[in-house]
Structure 1
Amino acid sequence: MTNDTQATSSCCSTSAPNPAAAGNGRNNLLGGAGDMTTCPVMVGTPVNKTAAEAAGLFRDFEGQRYYFCCAGCGPAFDSDPAKYAANMA
């Protein structure tokens, strides 16, 4: 029997390629010019709108654009957009 622990999975731990990924495998959505916002799925996580848009990390819902911190947040948003849009109100 081992005491190894498995890392917990979050929506942001994906193996999908991401053009905004930094060298360490994490998204670098804070650098560069552009307005800042927060991710509606991972509430409080800062997102650079310009970098997220360039990486395709956004969805449009009811005339509003929502930006995500990682590739895993888009599908989560798609599952219940009204719920996640309310996080931004």
Structure 2
Amino acid sequence: MTNDSQAEASCCGTSTPNPAAAGNGRGNLLGGSPADDLTTCPVMAGSPVSKTAAEAAGLYRDYEGERYYFCCAGCGPAFDADPARYAASMA
């Protein structure tokens, strides 16, 4: 079984690493993170994101006074296309 169907359903795909969750080979940054550092990606609902790692990787956007963190580089452009939709999903 391959991950082709998952890659098609995800903006993150398998070819783009997830630095906000995986730490680029430095271990899982979600493991020892304080609870207040964790959030979920507004584009890929349910995908955990370390705020610290996402900021370091530039995987965030500010919208209407709130900061939104993404699990991968593909989520930023998707958020930009309809920020109100994704912001509402986080409320």
**TM superposition score category, shorter chain reference:** 0.7 to 0.9
Residue pair 2:17, 2:24 contacting (<8 A) in 1 also: no
Per the alignment, residue 81 of structure 1 pairs with: 83
The structure-2 alpha-carbon separation of the partners of 1:6 and 1:15, relative to structure 1 and needing over 3 Å to count, comes to closer
Structure 2 length-normalised TM: 0.72
Structure 1 length-normalised TM: 0.74
Residue pair 1:42, 1:73 contacting (<8 A) in 2 also: yes
Gaps of 5+ in 1: none
Query: Percent of pairs identical after alignment?
Result: 74
* 1:13 to 2:10 alignment: no
Larger relative helix fraction: 2
Greater than 4 Å deviation, 4+ residue runs:
14-18, 31-34
Deviation of 1:13 (Å): 1.6
The structure-2 alpha-carbon separation of the partners of 1:81 and 1:14, relative to structure 1 and needing over 3 Å to count, comes to farther
Alignment root-mean-square deviation, CA: 2.5
